[in-house]
Amino acid sequence: MEGGSSSQPPAKPESVRTGKRLRSMLPNIEPFVPRTDHHPRELRSWAKRTGFVSNFSGETNTSASVRFDSSGFDVERGLDRRGGGSTSPKIEIDPILGRTKQNQGSEIEPVPGNSNKSENGVGLGSGLGALRGENQRRRVVDESSLRDKEDEGRVGLNGNRHVNGNGNDAKANSVVDGTEGRDGGSDAGLGSEPKKDEVNVEVGPENNGYHPSGEEPSPDPGWLDNGLEMRCGLRDKPGLASVIYYSLQHYLSLAGSLIFIPLIIVPTMGGTDKDTATVISTMLLVSGITTLLNSYLGTRLPLVQGSSFVYLAPALVIMNSREYRNLSGHKFRHIMRELQGAIIISAIFQTILGFSGLMSLLLRLINPIVVAPTIAMVGLAFFSYGFPQASQCVEISIPLLVLVLIFTLYLRGISVFGHQVFRVYTVPLSLMIIWAYAFFLTAGGAYNYKGCSPDIPSSNILIDSCRKHANTMRSCRTDVSNAMRTADWVRIPYPLQWGIPIFQVRTSLIMIFVSLVASVDSVGTYHSTSLLVSSWPPTPGIVSRGIAMEGFCSILAGLWGSGTGSTTLTENAHTIRVTRVANRRVVEVGAILLMFFSLIGKVGAILASIPQALAASILCFIWALIVAFGFLNLQHGQKGSFRNMTIVGVSLFLGLSIPAYFQQYQPLSNLMVPSYLIPSSAASDGPVHSGSPGFDFAINGLLSMNMVVTLLVALILDNTVPGSKQERGVYRWSRPEDLMNDPSSLEDYSLPRKVTRVFCRSRCLGP
């Protein structure tokens, strides 16, 4: 008989009905019967179905609302679904004691539009679908999915749950069945068969990834559930052939970041083609040495060290100072020696920052809202150099840009013999194709002009028609460089090969601030890479150890004279995602190969022969990727937060606008500096005039660099504007005891045994 019929018996008191509902509910609880062949996970599944909560286990459910379909009584809503429109009070199970809480009173709301009401105001109409509880959503998790994803989502008494890299809670798969019950579906209809596999898991707002006491919980290995299946993981031991193949693949995907910086700085410093080849060989050697040192003594993550673009901006500022503009004799060596001195001083500061443990304190100020705009500005800072240089020869630069985008975006899913060739080898493959195209253009006479020779310097050309085509021949022809003719077959780069470094306070101050930017960049790379390859993020001590080792590696780069400092390449995390290889042995073998190729002078000569237009086109793509990698860090915080959007937007705008003000103070004669290098000449001509030339140079130079201004603005705003940890996406670093309890993760970060004795006394440098 329908619930709205006049023959409905009078409503009983609420307490009597509640007692009957409980008596009808409790006998239907399925008892636990121990078996000898049961799986350990079945105990947890039985507890979730029956509502049993143990006070001895740390992995019991905090769910206080369990739905018992067998009795037709919805405990979460306090509604009787077996017939009639009566309601019952909400029954909650205490997560600590494992028993029902005292009745807090019934939550009864009248059904709108129903004229037949009882004394308590409860509608007795026939429309169960009109009840307010029918319009609410329910999360129903199937038992089998809970078994399969047990390690992905855990709810414990201490408030720990499955947490991803940004500290937000991972949501369980759910289905919405509020409308199916109304339509007569099998889920909630009257007289339907109960589903014993369903359990309604409700997580209270108090368990938002933190302990009830306010302390942060230990990181959960579930952070790494990113769906990325590694071909060669951190703990795998591939064979020799696989290691060599993966090494070549790994370093070829990073080729753009390893070899293109000398193609910019050496010609600007007045160096020859042979000098360019020598600097490239030196960079390969230093990159191999520093990668091995980081793999054994640093964070021990599979990260490639190299000459970062972070150091390119200050190098351009220093080499475009006023005293070097009219310098002709030995200009390249003099500028290189001054760069070496500035890099060594800043590297010593960075080493002290790491080994003293100050970096562990600085980590509290470095968060994704600071890292994201800072890294993005590293790429945006070179917009005035990118396409203006590539436009010197549009017939080869534009096809290269188009081909790179086609390989990266349109052909990224195509596999050749099971390998994503176009996605992994985007830069080297597209460069070789267009380089061959440029060779045929040169051989076919496309850049032959009557009476003009590409071997004559543009300053010595007397014919006006030839002077007009000088830049075209220099940028487009593939036979302009004489590096192949002058470079030695075997040459070993050695320390102080350019002379004794020159130490000046003004350039050292600039490089010290830039080393802080490099450290912020490395912190973001450490965190993102650890989530890909390890079960735990590094501890603050391990991060400090990595920064200290980067400072030591920059000292080596300054001694050898690579022109820039050494740091963790920003593109490491992207390379791991693309190649799906995150193995220390692979990175170490690749580093040894780099060191071997650096001894062959002709290898550096071949790379130095790349036309400038092609190099500029590739750099346009790499700098754009760095911008994207920077913004990728915003995923750790709340993307829709007005606070975060404002901080990032203001940091980026001021990071572009303030340096533009300093860069408008141009040299007296623009003919002294190429147009694409005018923004880097503000250090000598800026608006700051304090009476101290060295101090003026340092301040004008720092405020003319976009990434420095962006870092300062973002660092101040993010650490002064109020915001929760979830909103800010604060980086979560492991604690030493967490790694001690997980031997496999401890092995990932632990130093070799002989080295451990040296660092055992310093708690700030190890787990």
Q: What is the pLDDT of residues 539-565, one digit of tens each?
A: 999 999 999 999 999 999 999 999 999
**353, pLDDT greater than 70:** yes
DSSP-derived secondary structure letter, 332: H
Sequence-ordered alpha helix ranges (H) in 320-444: 331-355, 358-362, 368-380, 386-390, 394-405, 421-424, 426-443
**Nearest-CA neighbor of 703 among 758, 676, 663, 755?**
663
pLDDT at 85: 43
Q: In angstroms, rounded to a whole number, what is the distance separating the alpha carbons of residues 537 and 543?
A: 10
- Residue 191 has a pLDDT of 41
Q: Taking the mean position of all CA atoms in its chain, how far away is CA 552?
A: 24
Q: For residue 484, give the amino acid letter.
A: M
**pLDDT at site 746:** 81
Average pLDDT over residues 409-433: 90
658 band by pLDDT with thresholds 50, 70 and 90: very high
Give the residue-averaged pLDDT of 715-726.
94
Does residue 139 register a pLDDT over 50? no
Residue 114 has pLDDT above 80, yes or no: no
Calpha distance 254→307 (Å, rounded): 12
pLDDT score for 738: 83
The partner residues of 600 in beta bridges, in order of sequence, read 490
Query: What count of residues does the chain have?
Result: 767
What pLDDT was estimated at residue 235? Answer: 83
pLDDT for residue 763 is more than 70: no
Better pLDDT: 434 or 270:
434
pLDDT value, residue 471: 77
More confident residue, 57 or 92: 92
Angle at the Cα of 675 from the Cα atoms of 696 and 681, rounded to 5 degrees:
10
Work out the mean pLDDT of the chain and round it to a whole number: 76
Q: What's the confidence (pLDDT) of residue 187?
A: 41
Determine the pLDDT at residue 415: 86
Which pLDDT tens digit goes with each residue over 622-645? 999 999 999 999 988 887 899 999
Q: Quick one: average pLDDT of 281-305? A: 94
| Greater pLDDT, 524 or 227 | 524
pLDDT confidence of 167, banded at 50, 70, 90? very low
pLDDT attached to residue 45: 53
Q: Quote the pLDDT of residue 233.
A: 87
Give the contacts of 409 (CB within 8 A, at least 6 positions apart). none
pLDDT tens per residue, range 13-25: 554 454 555 555 5
159-168, 262-271, 279-288: least confidently modelled range: 159-168
Mean pLDDT of 283-288: 96
Q: Compute, in degrees rounded to 10, the torsion defined by CA atoms 692, 694, 700, 702.
A: -140
Side-chain-side CA neighbours of 758 within 13 Å: the count stands at: 7
Average pLDDT over residues 587-594: 95
| pLDDT of amino acid 453 | 74
Distance in angstroms (rounded) separating the CA atoms of residues 435 and 422: 17
pLDDT above 90 covers what percent of the chain?
43
pLDDT of 512 reads 96
Q: Which segments within 457-612 are labelled E, that is strand?
A: 566-568
The four Cα atoms 389, 391, 396, 398 give a dihedral, to 10 degrees, of 110
- Tell me which residue has tokens 């000046």: 504
pLDDT tier at 258, thresholds 50, 70, 90: confident
Does 728 or 87 have the greater pLDDT score? 728
664 has a pLDDT exceeding 90 = no
Distance CA 300, CA 291 (A): 10
β-pair type (305-307, 198-199): unpaired
Q: Convert the pLDDT of each residue in 493-529 to its tens digit.
A: 999 999 999 999 999 999 999 999 999 999 999 999 9
> Distance between CA 16 and CA 6 in Å, rounded?
22
CA-nearest of 648, 546, 584 to 238 is 584
Tell me, what's the pLDDT at 458?
61
- Return the higher-pLDDT residue of 657 and 56: 657
Centroid of chain to Cα 705: 23
CA distance from start to end of the chain: 70
